[in-house]
Structure 1
Amino acid sequence: MTLSRLAAQFAAEINQQDWSDAHIRADRAGHRRDRDRPGSAEKVLSPAEAEKVKINAAWVTAQVLGYNDSNFDPHEFFKACGVSDQWLWNRDGQRSGFVAAGLRTRTGLAGEVEYQVPGMWGCWEGAPIVD
């Protein structure tokens, strides 16, 4: 399935970022560590730690995209974000449940995937909002 233009653009941004120093600086879009002054980032995340930051960025973005686009494929989105195959595929070559496990979804009456309202824990479309 092809991603929407918006989803593809979000994925491209998430994929291009250097997440290894995300814990110590607020980077602008397009920051590149190879252009930093020497010693500007004393401790960077390991590749595995940086990928977990990328995965979390992909999950929160996918939550909003899925809520707004009934044709959204979160697995394809994670691939486009550059998330490693180890998170996306089972050993038998089938999609893993990892991506779906990080999203707040349920199965609707017609069998479709429904996403919780973004920014609202436990709130589903059409349900009364309780503070």
Structure 2
Amino acid sequence: MSRFRPIDREIDFCLRRDALPAAREHFIRWYSQRGRAWLSSRVADYQSRMEAAPAGVKVQELGHRWGSCGKGDWLYFHWKAILLPARIAEYVVVHELAHLHEPHHTPAFWLRVERAMPDYAQRKAWLAEHGIDVDVL
């Protein structure tokens, strides 16, 4: 049996071992599609507050990164971001929006993040401690 475990609840799926790769691909596709709509709405919630205008939002596999600000002001988010608690995913959104103004993690970057999200340090710490536990199958 393989275990699917979102951070705040647990659901068990019984899958044949040979079905795991296809099931994982299905979950990734499903979370990527739903994640784009949800993360886009979070971006919309924060972009005016942060005076940022991203070209758009894409959700995909990003390796070890939760988000990225790419060429042409596109925001990229890891598909696993939709599995994070909402307040933590919002930190990832604010972090990437700040990169539209400040490309590097300078004091000015962190000040911009703090203005938009005064408790960002707690959210950042949660992500550093628990983010590795977020996965499907």
Shorter-chain TM range is under 0.3
More helix by share: 2
User: Scaled by the length of structure 2, what TM-score is found?
Assistant: 0.26
User: Scaled by the length of structure 1, what TM-score is found?
Assistant: 0.27
Larger radius of gyration, structure 1 or 2?
1
More strand by share: 2
State the structure with bigger RCO (CA 8 A, min sep 6), 1 or 2: 2
